[in-house]
Structure 1
Amino acid sequence: MKPPAREPLSRARRTAIHLEVRDQYASTDPDFLEWREGRRTFTPDNRADWWEGWHETVQAAVSRGVSVRRARVVSEPLTEYVRWEHAYAVTNIAAGEDVRWLPRRHAKDLAVPAVDFWVFDGELALFHHFSGDGVLTEREYVNDATLAAWCIAAFNSVWERATPHEEYKPV
């Protein structure tokens, strides 16, 4: 499998957008399992417990002037996994990402891809393909200006309606 989003983000010059549309990902993630057991280690106060290579990459990109935005389209009530993502988002924000949430019912009239994706600098798209149980099966990199533009338009339509993380109250 090709390298994850970290590599193209480390080369980004202007923008990186990420749209997530799934309600469940691989439930074997160790951080998720710890959270289910009541450990809530991902707060800004105990950064040493959660700061990873991804956070360093985001922070470096933001320091270079790259705008890093993440939007999640979610079903309500939230699945347990998405509740964990909401709690864990504090780490993304601490690294410099801007995160927003859009309840799926408010996206019914939007043209949104059925897969998660990234677009870097308006050019390179990275699609994440998952199995039904949320296991990542493929990362597909596509250099197609037309497809990237469509993804950007879809992302922006979600972004405009979505609620900033600090204001979104999970249902």
Structure 2
Amino acid sequence: MTQAPTFDSLFRNCQRSAVHLEMRDGYMRSDPAFIDWAAGKAIDPAERWRGWLDIVKEATGRGVSVRRARIVSEPVSDYIRFEHSVTDGLNINAGEEVGWLPRQQATELALPGNDFWVFDDKAVLVNHFDGDGDSLEHEYTEDPQLASFLSSAFEKVWDKAVPHAQYRLV
């Protein structure tokens, strides 16, 4: 395994594209933003995730296409409701495109076992989580076969996904 560059440097050095596939129905349930949202408190993405907004806005401002696809079970989990509620203010506001694919429509797709990012179709950051959705580690590689497989898997999901503006929670 190659020493991983920082996530920020992957974004700052990417030239064309950054794609992210999320396949879990819950992440970091101990996240203070999720806890506040679940308690009915208003969430201001610009306040909570300023660093994320800045780095993605900088990339999209350079012409980098940033896309995120989420495969979700329906009816959706509370965590997915939370993600959906902050997507406009966070992801879309930063310049990302976001698509949602109901899990029942993903059956025919060959998918990897983990969430991932692929930068410029070559740099891969695989995300490993524990059973509660907390991040364990990131695995970095520039293996061309893996990058090709993951890019292809992402595109197949993206082709079937519902754009964020049209996706309605079930």
State the secondary structure of the residue aligned to 2:141. Answer: strand
Does residue 30 of structure 2 align to residue 28 of structure 1? yes
Aligned to 2:82: 84
Match of 2:19 in 1: 17
1:147-166 matched pairs, under 5 angstroms: 147-166=146-165
Instruction: For residue 62 of structure 1, report the CA deviation from its aligned partner.
Output: 0.4
How many Å apart are 1:51 and its aligned residue? Answer: 4.6
Are the counterparts in 1 of residues 33 and 48 from structure 2 also a CA contact under 8 Å?
no
Aligned to 1:41: 43
What are structure 1's unaligned runs of at least 5 residues? none
**Aligned in 2, Cα 1:93/1:4: closer, same or farther, shift over 3 Å?**
farther
CA contact (8 A) 1:6 1:54 kept: no
- From 61, 64, 69, the equivalent of 1:63 is 61
CA contact (8 A) 1:4 1:139 kept: no
Shift of 1:133: 1.1
> Which AA in structure 2 matches 1:125?
V
TM-score scaled to structure 2, two decimals?
A: 0.93
Moved over 6 A (4+): none
CA contact (8 A) 2:68 2:97 kept: yes
Instruction: After TM superposition, give the deviation of residue 71 of structure 1 in Å.
Output: 0.2
User: In the alignment, which residue of structure 2 is the partner of 1:146?
Assistant: 145
1:5–1:118 Cα contact (<8 Å) kept: no
Q: 2:112 — aligned with what?
A: 113
Q: Is the 8 A contact 2:4 2:141 kept in 1?
A: no
TM-score by length of 1: 0.93
Aligned to 1:6: 8
Q: How many residues align?
A: 167
Gaps spanning 5+ residues in structure 2: where?
none
Q: How big is the alpha-carbon RMSD for the aligned residues of Structure 1 and Structure 2?
A: 1.5
Amino acid at match of 1:17: V
